[in-house]
Structure 1
Amino acid sequence: MHPLCHDEESHALMQFKQSLVINKSASSDPSAYPKVASWKVDGESRDCCSWDGVECDRDSGHVIGLDLSSSCLYGSIDSNSSLFHLVHLRRLNLADNDFNNSKIPSEIRNLSRLFDLDLSLSAFSGQIPEEILELSKLVSLDLGANSLKLQKPGLQHLVEALTNLEVLHLSEVNISAKVPQIMENLSSLSSLFLRDCGLQGEFPMGIFQLPNLRFLSIRYNPYLTGYLPEFDRGSHLETLMLAGTNFSGAFPSLLRDQNHLELLELEQNKLEGHIPKWFMNMSTITLEHLSLAGNFLTGFEQSCEVLPWNKLRSLNLHSNKLHGSLPTPPPVIFDYRVSNNQFTGEIPKAFCNLASLSVLELSNNNLSGKLPPCLGNKRSAISVLNLGDNSFSGDIPETFTSGCSLRVVDFSQNKLEGKIPRSLANCTKLEILNLEQNKINDVFPSWLGILPDLRVLILRSNRLHGVIGKPINNVEFPRVQIVDLSNNSFKGNLPLEYFRNWTAMKNVHGDHFLNYMQANISFQMSHIRMIHKYEYSMTMTNKGVMTFYEKIQDSLTAIDLSCNDFEGEIPVVLGDLKALHLLNLSNNFLSGGIPPSLSNLKELEALDLSQNKLSGHIPVQLSQLNFLEVFNVSHNFLLGPIPQGNQFDTFDNTSFDGNSGLCGKPLSGKCRDGEDSLPALKEDEGSKSPLEFGGKAVAIGYAAGLVIGVIIGSIMNTREYEWLVNNYFVRLQRKGQNLKTRLHRS
Structure 2
Amino acid sequence: MSSLSNLKLFDATENHFTGPLPSSLFNIPSLKTITLENNQLNGSLGFGNISSYSNLTVLRLGNNNFRGPIHRSISKLVNLKELDLSNYNTQGLVDFTIFSHLKSIEYLNLSHLNTTTTIDMYEILSSFKLLDTLDLSGSHVSTTNKSSLSNSSLVLISQLYLSGCGITEFPKFLRSQELMLTLDISNNKIKGQVPGWLWMLPVLNYVNLSNNTFIGFERSTKLGLTSIQEPPAMRQLFCSNNNFTGNIPSFICELPYLSTLDFSNNKFNGSIPTCMGNIQSPYLQALNLRHNRLSGVLPENIFESLISLDVGHNQLVGKLPRSLSHISSLGLLNVESNKISDTFPLWLSSLQELQVLVLRSNAFYGPIEKTQFSKLRIIDISGNQFNGTLPANFFVNWTAMFSLDENEDQSNGETMSNMYMSTDYFYFDSMVLMNKGVEMELERVLKVFTVIDFSGNKFEGEIPKSIGLLKELHVLNLSNNALSGHIASSMGNLMALESLDVSQNKLSGEIPQELGKLTYLAYMNFSHNQLVGLLPGGTQFQTQKCSSFEDNHGLYGPSLEKICDIHGKTPQQSEMAPEPEEDEEEVISWIAAVIGFILGTALGLTFGCILFSYKPDWFKNPFVRDKRRNIGTITH
TM interval, short-chain normalised: 0.7 to 0.9
Partner of 2:170: 275
* Cα pair distance change 1:568/1:305, threshold 3 Å: farther
* Cα pair distance change 1:372/1:412, threshold 3 Å: same
Matches within 5 A, 1:603-622: 603-622=496-515
Tell me whether 186-195 or 311-320 shows the greater mean CA deviation. Answer: 186-195
Q: Offset at 1:483?
A: 0.5
Structure 1: how far apart are the matches of 2:472 and 2:253? 41
Partner of 2:315: 415
Partner of 1:538: 431
Indicate if the aligned counterparts of 1:568 and 1:590 stay in contact, CA closer than 8 A.
yes
* Cα pair distance change 1:183/1:662, threshold 3 Å: same
Indicate if the aligned counterparts of 1:184 and 1:204 stay in contact, CA closer than 8 A.
no
Indicate if the aligned counterparts of 2:343 and 2:366 stay in contact, CA closer than 8 A.
yes
Structure 1: how far apart are the matches of 2:515 and 2:352? 34
Structure 2: how far apart are the matches of 1:219 and 1:496? 59
* Cα pair distance change 1:161/1:512, threshold 3 Å: farther
Partner of 1:143: 35
Structure 1: how far apart are the matches of 2:573 and 2:23? 70
* Cα pair distance change 1:635/1:628, threshold 3 Å: same
Matches within 5 A, 1:526-565: 532-565=425-458
Partner of 1:405: 305
Structure 1: how far apart are the matches of 2:265 and 2:306? 20
Partner of 2:420: 517
Partner of 2:333: 433
Matched, 1:588 2:481: yes
The one-letter amino acid paired with 1:344 is T
Structure 1: how far apart are the matches of 2:482 and 2:159? 58
Matched, 1:396 2:298: yes
* Cα pair distance change 1:323/1:409, threshold 3 Å: same
Structure 2: how far apart are the matches of 1:163 and 1:175? 28
Q: Offset at 1:163?
A: 4.9
Indicate if the aligned counterparts of 2:528 and 2:550 stay in contact, CA closer than 8 A.
yes
Structure 2: how far apart are the matches of 1:131 and 1:514? 42
Where 2:268 maps in the other structure, the secondary structure is strand
* Cα pair distance change 1:676/1:354, threshold 3 Å: farther
Indicate if the aligned counterparts of 1:222 and 1:244 stay in contact, CA closer than 8 A.
no
Where 1:504 maps in the other structure, the secondary structure is helix
Deviations 1:262-302 (A, max 9, x none): 2111102333x2325x345342x2222110111222235x8
Cα RMSD after superposing both structures = 3.3
Deviations 1:28-56 (A, max 9, x none): xxxxxxxxxxxxxxxxxxxxxxxxxxxxx
Matched, 1:168 2:61: no
Matched, 1:266 2:162: yes
Partner of 1:17: none
Partner of 1:698: none
* Cα pair distance change 1:299/1:496, threshold 3 Å: farther
Structure 2: how far apart are the matches of 1:313 and 1:343? 21
* Cα pair distance change 1:321/1:442, threshold 3 Å: same
Where 2:514 maps in the other structure, the secondary structure is helix
Structure 2: how far apart are the matches of 1:408 and 1:172? 33
Indicate if the aligned counterparts of 1:215 and 1:239 stay in contact, CA closer than 8 A.
yes
Structure 1: how far apart are the matches of 2:479 and 2:113? 44
Partner of 2:389: 493
Deviations 1:223-255 (A, max 9, x none): 355311351756526345335434255768689
* Cα pair distance change 1:213/1:451, threshold 3 Å: same
Indicate if the aligned counterparts of 1:640 and 1:671 stay in contact, CA closer than 8 A.
no
Q: Quick check: which one's helix share is greater?
A: 2
Partner of 2:631: none
Matches within 5 A, 1:133-212: 133-138=26-31, 140-145=32-37, 147=39, 149=41, 155-157=45-47, 160-161=50-51, 163-165=53-55, 167-172=57-62, 174=64, 176-183=66-73, 185-186=75-76, 188-189=78-79, 191-194=81-84, 196=86, 198-201=88-91, 202-207=93-98, 209-210=100-101, 212=103
Deviations 1:637-670 (A, max 9, x none): 1123333341111011110122233334233554
Equivalent residue for 1:379, pick from 265, 268, 281: 281
Tell me whether 493-502 or 593-602 shows the greater mean CA deviation. Answer: 493-502
Structure 1: how far apart are the matches of 2:70 and 2:86? 17
Indicate if the aligned counterparts of 1:509 and 1:555 stay in contact, CA closer than 8 A.
no
Indicate if the aligned counterparts of 2:324 and 2:348 stay in contact, CA closer than 8 A.
yes
Structure 2: how far apart are the matches of 1:246 and 1:234? 19
Deviations 1:498-524 (A, max 9, x none): 411100111146999984524353xxx
Equivalent residue for 2:470, pick from 577, 602, 611: 577
Indicate if the aligned counterparts of 2:83 and 2:105 stay in contact, CA closer than 8 A.
no
* Cα pair distance change 1:118/1:359, threshold 3 Å: farther
* Cα pair distance change 1:172/1:368, threshold 3 Å: same
Matches within 5 A, 1:17-32: none
The one-letter amino acid paired with 2:331 is E
The one-letter amino acid paired with 2:451 is A
Partner of 1:686: none
Structure 1: how far apart are the matches of 2:150 and 2:550? 66
Matches within 5 A, 1:69-148: 106=1, 109-111=4-6, 117=9, 119=11, 132-138=25-31, 140-145=32-37, 147=39
The one-letter amino acid paired with 1:494 is L
Q: Offset at 1:346?
A: 1.7
Indicate if the aligned counterparts of 1:375 and 1:382 stay in contact, CA closer than 8 A.
no
Structure exhibiting the larger radius of gyration computed from Cα positions: 2
Partner of 2:569: 672
Q: Offset at 1:419?
A: 1.2
Tell me whether 162-171 or 629-638 shows the greater mean CA deviation. Answer: 162-171
Structure 1: how far apart are the matches of 2:49 and 2:132? 22
Q: Percent identity?
A: 32
- Structure of higher RCO (CA pairs closer than 8 Å, 6+ residues apart): 2
Q: Offset at 1:318?
A: 0.7
* Cα pair distance change 1:261/1:492, threshold 3 Å: same
Structure 1: how far apart are the matches of 2:24 and 2:275? 61
Partner of 1:349: 250
* Cα pair distance change 1:287/1:622, threshold 3 Å: same
Where 2:460 maps in the other structure, the secondary structure is strand
- TM-score for the superposition, normalised by structure 2: 0.78
Indicate if the aligned counterparts of 1:320 and 1:340 stay in contact, CA closer than 8 A.
yes
Structure 1: how far apart are the matches of 2:51 and 2:133? 26
In structure 2, runs of 5+ residues without a counterpart are 224-230, 407-413, 575-636
Structure 1: how far apart are the matches of 2:137 and 2:485? 55
Q: Offset at 1:118?
A: 6.6
Indicate if the aligned counterparts of 1:466 and 1:491 stay in contact, CA closer than 8 A.
yes
Structure 2: how far apart are the matches of 1:560 and 1:321? 35
The one-letter amino acid paired with 1:288 is L
Structure 2: how far apart are the matches of 1:423 and 1:513? 28
Partner of 2:374: 478
* Cα pair distance change 1:547/1:609, threshold 3 Å: same
Partner of 1:215: 106
The one-letter amino acid paired with 1:310 is P
Q: Offset at 1:391?
A: 1.2
Structure 1: how far apart are the matches of 2:369 and 2:205? 46
* Cα pair distance change 1:182/1:243, threshold 3 Å: closer
* Cα pair distance change 1:456/1:659, threshold 3 Å: same
Structure 1: how far apart are the matches of 2:507 and 2:139? 56
Structure 1: how far apart are the matches of 2:82 and 2:328? 43
Equivalent residue for 2:492, pick from 575, 581, 599: 599
Tell me whether 122-131 or 599-608 shows the greater mean CA deviation. Answer: 122-131
Structure 2: how far apart are the matches of 1:205 and 1:639? 73
Structure 1: how far apart are the matches of 2:81 and 2:499? 51
Deviations 1:347-399 (A, max 9, x none): 22222121111111111111122212343653341011111111111111111
Partner of 2:217: 325
Matches within 5 A, 1:306-317: 307-317=199-209
Partner of 1:635: 528
Structure 2: how far apart are the matches of 1:291 and 1:341? 15
Structure 2: how far apart are the matches of 1:223 and 1:253? 24
- TM-score for the superposition, normalised by structure 1: 0.67
